[in-house]
Structure 1
Amino acid sequence: MTLRILCLHGYTQNAQVFTKKTAVFRKALKGVADLAPHVLPIPTLETPEEREADQLNNLEPESIPYGWWTSSPERPQYKGLDESLTGLRDVLEKQGPFDGVMGFSQGASMASLLQLLLERPHLSHVMTGCRHGPLKFAIVVSGFEPRDSALMAWYTNKYPLLEPRRSMDSNDMDVDDNEDKENVEPKYIHGVQGSSMHVIGRTDVIIEAERSEGLMNHYKFKTPVTLYHDGGHYLPSNAASRQAYKSFVESFI
């Protein structure tokens, strides 16, 4: 069995750039997982006038910077998020199913949001009714909590526990079993229910370790796997890191 992982690039990157940056990661998972096409969401400059003024139209495709959303400390609302989610839903439904998602930096935060939304699609009008089930895992590299308070509430709200689906004959359950199930108090959790691996650079000056740990704290139901490295804002590729990626992904086969 080979797993399928959807990969999401970082801010101002694109599919071509991220494909090169994940070469070692892809090699480490060869035979274990297929890394699905990287999605190209909306450009960081949205209108034709903005792109022309920035000369983006004159760049080679692999040089055009993309982002999952735009925001600023003064305006923390995530502009463009719904458009990106629309693109992701299209990929999930047409190219899926996917077992997991992997993202870097802003793409890591989007990967986390996607994992949460596939567990609770009602939170987003874009994802409501999405024909793709919850992901088994997420690999979050230099991720961070959302600045947008509305999105932050998605992590801090309390949700009923998602029970695994069971296939059984109607004859396998008697009336007493049904009565017992009705009397069981529902279980609730905060944040993301699925599994995760968080890759954090101790000397990352773009996304400080504390910010990545803040996002990791919303994964309480299943203890996150952590991979700390002494470098900065990148996906580590040394032998120990490669083995850590492989071991984590293999656990879902």
Structure 2
Amino acid sequence: MSVKKNVLMLHGFVQSDKIFSAKTGGLRKNLKKLGYDLHYPCAPHSIDKKALFQSEAEKGRDAAKEFNTSATLDEVYGWFFRKPDSSNSFEIDQKVFNYLHNYVLENGPFDGVIGFSQGAGLGGYLVTDFNKILNLTEKQQPALKFFISFSGFKLEDKAYQGSYDKAIEIPSLHVRGELDAVVAESRIMALYDSWPQNKRTLLVHPGAHFVPNSKQFVSQVCNWVQVTINKDDQEQDDLPEAEQEQFDRPQLDDDLLDMIDSLGRL
């Protein structure tokens, strides 16, 4: 009997569990072939989408396009909000942690965490010490095996910096779009740089602020999961320095893409 494998999916700002599920259909289908069930919690903070971009300077901006969300009247949510008079400072309400604690108990344990935008920012913070932050025992939630961030960023508030200073042992894949105008490249790279060199990979796609759903791109992400899960930690540590660098370059080069693709397309 196969062991059930679960992935925690954290949606972006002005999204919801349903919206994020719809926008990651290709990824969900292909991870399903690898034996993973994707679980989509919904952030507890409701957002008035009509109230967004109401200032004179912001008028004309399209929330659905900018946040890769729904243009319909679907309810939308967020994990946290900016502090007043601050562009990049956030405070996460304790009820978010309590909600995710209960969600893990009811739907986990989880093998990995995948997030988009604000959800990836939250996920990147959580995986620095997942069990401690969510008050979970090792029996309730064994060690995570991977983390994937789509347009994720490092939380910049001083209250959270101590967590990033620890040696993060969970392998991570950080994905950014070359045309992303919502999350600056510097913020994405700050999260990427929080990981040790042998535990991080950066993948760049030519699009904007969204989770790419093309067959080729989804195959690369899923094959990275296979490489990561199948590679023993000790084997990774023993890789020659030149080979390790393939995983650390700002973009995946042709040699690494060929290696990932050689595992077989999904």
Shorter-chain TM-score bucket reads 0.7 to 0.9
Distance 1:39 1:248 in 2: 24
* 3-state SS of 2:9 partner: strand
Distance 1:117 1:77 in 2: 20
Give 1:229's match in structure 2, choosing from 199, 205, 230: 205
Distance 1:65 1:129 in 2: 31
Aligned-pair distance for 1:73?
6.4
Cα deviation, 1:26-52, whole Å, max 9, x if unaligned, reads 12223214333211122245xxxxx7x
* 3-state SS of 2:198 partner: coil
* 3-state SS of 2:179 partner: coil
Indicate how the Cα distance of structure 1 residues 155 and 35 shifts in structure 2: closer, same or farther if over 3 A, else same. same
Count of aligned pairs between the two proteins: 204
Unaligned runs of 5+ in 1: 46-50, 55-60, 159-188
Aligned residue in 2 for 1:65: 76
Deviates more, 1:126-135 or 1:138-147: 126-135
Determine if contact 1:194/1:222 at 8 Å carries over to the other structure.
no
Aligned-pair distance for 1:135?
0.8
Give 2:6's match in structure 1, choosing from 4, 26, 32: 4
* 3-state SS of 1:222 partner: helix
Aligned-pair distance for 1:212?
0.8
The reply on whether 1:153 has 2:162 as its aligned counterpart is yes
Aligned residue in 2 for 1:195: 171
Give 1:92's match in structure 2, choosing from 91, 104, 117: 104
Indicate how the Cα distance of structure 1 residues 145 and 42 shifts in structure 2: closer, same or farther if over 3 A, else same. same
Indicate how the Cα distance of structure 1 residues 11 and 223 shifts in structure 2: closer, same or farther if over 3 A, else same. same
TM-score (structure 1 length as normaliser): 0.72
Determine if contact 1:44/1:70 at 8 Å carries over to the other structure.
no
Aligned-pair distance for 1:80?
4.1
Aligned residue in 2 for 1:83: 95
Aligned residue identity for 1:127: N
TM-score (structure 2 length as normaliser): 0.69
Aligned-pair distance for 1:15?
0.8
Aligned residue identity for 2:161: M
Determine if contact 2:175/2:202 at 8 Å carries over to the other structure.
yes
* 3-state SS of 1:140 partner: strand
Aligned residue in 2 for 1:173: none
Unaligned runs of 5+ in 2: 52-71, 231-266
Give 2:185's match in structure 1, choosing from 209, 222, 232: 209
* 3-state SS of 1:138 partner: strand
Distance 2:85 2:137 in 1: 33
Distance 1:79 1:116 in 2: 17
Aligned residue identity for 2:42: L
Distance 1:110 1:44 in 2: 17
* 3-state SS of 1:66 partner: strand
